[in-house]
Amino acid sequence: MAGLKACSALVTGANRGLGLEMVKQLLEACCSNIFAACRDPDGPNSEALRELAKNHPGVVTLVQLDVADPCSIKESAKKVGSLLGKKGLNLLVNNAAVLPQKTMLTATVEDMQNTFNTNVIGPLFVIREYLPYLRTAAKASGKPGMSCDKAAVINISTDSASMSIMPVLEEPFPFFPYSISKAGLNMLTIYTARDLKADEILCISLHPGWVKTDMGGDMASIDARESVEGMLRVIGGLTEKQNGGFLDYTGETIPW
Ligand code: NDP
């Protein structure tokens, strides 16, 4: 993968969909230390990921991480921290998310809370718990500027969180809690980029396109391979110029 030189990476929601594809392509890109995090590593939805970890011992490490559970985030960070060397963590991908099909009129308190727990509060505490390792990587790199082979946080967002796109979207989009939560995630990107700038840790929101996964459905326009190839190309080319930006998998800027 051109440009991508991160030697350690952690991906949340890595057992299926875009997360699993990202682990596969990080392997192809010769990333040497991949932490594939998912909430149920022993469950039926993690079979493909278990197989991948079995075939790449010492490179792909399975990590139990339920992003909606702060204790699980803490425990996972302890485990990953004990396995990371002095080079720290180069790339953190906040990928896990949920998409309840609810409108402004049907979303319950639980729908809103659960979606925020997973899509906003989870990524926030993942960043906080893994921050020491990102800082270590940024310091250890010895390179000037910002890049993903130094230290980067990638928040997987969506164009349906764009306050410019949503009002003019012609087709119905009955995913109210999701869009609002991802707009919150985008503000988390802005804060992270601003607050971690002094540490030379970059942060962006990245839209993967409309992708054929369980979430995107069969009618989606691209498959997971194309989406992740594009996203890793974008991630590999990031510099401080894109810090705090909102990009899609082709590298185009998305209006907030
Ligand atoms: P999928 O529904 O296919 O996969 C979602 C992943 O998130 C699964 O691995 C799931 O794990 C995990 N997950 C959900 N809740 C939690 C939790 N509490 N803790 C840990 N993991 C959790 O979605 P995609 O792969 O399509 O989506 C990946 C990312 O891309 C998401 O952030 C999504 O919002 C974004 N996106 C996707 C688009 C698309 O068209 N597909 C479009 C725009 C954005 P489990 O198996 O345990 O449920």
The binding-site residues of ligand 1, defined as CB within 6 angstroms of any ligand atom, are 12-13, 15-19, 38-40, 45, 66-68, 95-98, 118, 156, 158, 207-208, 210-211, 213-216, 220
Does residue 35 lie within any of the structural domains? Answer: yes
**Mean per-residue pLDDT over the chain, rounded:** 96
Cα–ligand 1 centroid distance for 98 (angstroms): 6
By percentage, how much of the chain surpasses pLDDT 90? 93
CA of 96 to the centre of ligand 1 (A): 4
Q: Region 198-212: what's the mean pLDDT?
A: 98
Domain annotation covers residue 33: yes
Domain count, the chain: 1
- Please check whether residue 3 lies inside any domain of the structure: no
17 C-alpha to center of ligand 1: Å? 7
Compute the average pLDDT of residues 228-241.
97
Residue 252 has pLDDT above 90, yes or no: yes
109 lies in a domain?
yes
pLDDT in tens, 15-61: 999 999 999 999 999 899 999 999 999 999 999 999 999 999 999 99
For residue 1, being part of any structural domain is answered with: no
Our mutation pick for probing the ligand 1 site, out of 95, 219, 223, counting the most ligand atoms within 8 A of Cβ, is: 95
DSSP state of 160: G
In a domain, 232, yes or no: yes
Atom of ligand 1 nearest to the CA of 20: 9
| 78 secondary structure, DSSP code | H
Q: Report if residue 16 sits inside a domain.
A: yes
Q: pLDDT, tens digit, for every residue of 56-106?
A: 999 999 999 999 999 999 999 999 999 998 999 999 999 999 999 999 999
At 32 the pLDDT is 93
pLDDT in tens, 100-135: 999 999 999 999 999 999 999 999 999 999 999 999
- How far, in Å, is the centroid of ligand 1 from the Cα of 80? 21
Q: Which of 49, 215, 221 to mutate to test the pocket of ligand 1 (most atoms within 8 A of CB)?
A: 215
**Higher pLDDT among residues 167 and 146, named by residue:** 146
**Protein residue closest via CA to atom 13 of ligand 1:** 96
Q: Is the pLDDT of residue 147 over 70?
A: yes
Query: Please, which pLDDT band fits residue 1 given cuts at 50, 70 and 90?
Result: low
Token look-up 């990202």 returns 22
Question: CATH no. for residue 40?
Answer: 3.40.50.720
Mean pLDDT of 226-253: 98
Q: How far apart are CA 152 and CA 77, in angstroms?
A: 16
pTM here is: 0.98
Nearest CA to ligand 1 atom 20: 66
> Phi and psi at residue 71, in whole multiples of 5°?
-65, -40
- Exposed/middle/buried for residue 4 (C-beta within 10 Å: 0-12, 13-18, 19+): buried
Residue 46 placed within a domain: yes
**From CA 71, how far away is CA 124, in angstroms rounded?**
14
| DSSP E strand stretches across the chain | 8-11, 33-38, 60-64, 91-94, 152-156, 202-207, 211-212, 222-223, 246-248
Distance separating alpha carbons of residues 218 and 241, to the nearest angstrom: 35
Closest residue CA from atom 21 of ligand 1: 13
Q: Which domain holds residue 170?
A: 8-247
The ipTM is 0.99
| Cα dist from 110 to 101, 120, 125, whole Å | 13, 15, 20
Residue with tokens 């990107």: 189
